[in-house]
Amino acid sequence: MCGRFFIAQAPEIFRDFYGYPERPNFPARYNVAPTQPVAIVHAEGGERHFRLVRWGFWPGWLKDPKGFPLVINARVETLTEKPTFRGALRHRRCVFLADGFYEWRREGTGRGAIKTPFMIRRADGAPMALAGLWETWAGADGSEIDTAAIVTTGANGTMAAVHDRMPAILAPETIEPWLDTRDVDAGPAASLCRPCPDAWLRLDPVGARVNDARNDDPGLIEPVGEPRPAPPEPGAPPRRSSDEDAQGALF
């Protein structure tokens, strides 16, 4: 599950890293939440482009989004099977612009449960290329809304100490084939979305202010306490965040 992320570096760094021609001057955002506008990179005619979309995927075949579940993640294991994402996987793959994301380690149950937020970023400080899918939804009145979801995969060894899922973080050399919907088919593209190497990531506990999406300031990404959580005990059930994946079998 990936329900919050942040984008803190200057726009020029992302433009140089991904190579799109647009020159957007977007502000840093430290607590990006579902349904908000988010920045993606996609390919069109062999060229990369910057685009703003709604974080919350609406498939093109959807007639009325009212009552449709909030779909912010797409499980890579079922991308080729689920009708919600099938078309986007073939024709509209993207990368979310991000420097890292947040996840919550939950210990205990009920009211006594302790939820500790962690910031996950690349250890080398590079932009974190989160694989995504996007779609333009057209309303009956002719209106159009661009929407997107982050592709998720099973956790690597580092993330398993916090949660059993994580975003699919692309290696620099796999960004191009992921975006290339002309020459790379759905199956091979989906195979690029796998748990990243443990050494890529740094986990730091952060303050509880990140729990409230209304908070959006640099203080949210200041680590507190020890830099990494303890691994789960042998035989213990996988850790899950407080923001469980409840999107259902359709997705």
Burial 4-15 (b: 16+ CB within 10 A, else e): bbbbebebeebb
- DSSP letter assigned to residue 235: T
- DSSP letter assigned to residue 38: E
Residue type at 59?
P
Q: Three-state DSSP class for 236?
A: coil
- Is residue 94 part of the annotated active site? The answer reads no
Burial 45-64 (b: 16+ CB within 10 A, else e): eeebbbbebbbbbbbeeeee
- Is residue 2 part of the annotated active site? The answer reads yes
Query: Which of 85, 67, 84, 71 lies closest to 186, judged by CA?
Result: 85
Determine which one of 2, 94, 193, 196 is catalytic: 2
DSSP per residue, 145-180: EEEEEEEEEE--TTGGGT-SEEE-B--HHHHHHHH-
- DSSP letter assigned to residue 140: T
β-bridge pairing 144-154 and 73-75: parallel
Determine which one of 103, 135, 193, 196 is catalytic: 103
Instruction: Tell me the β-bridge partners of 148.
Output: 55, 134
Contact call for residues 241 and 103 (beta carbons, < 8 A)? yes
CA distances to 48, 135, 148 from 73, in Å: 23, 13, 9
Q: Which active-site residues does the annotation give?
A: 2, 103
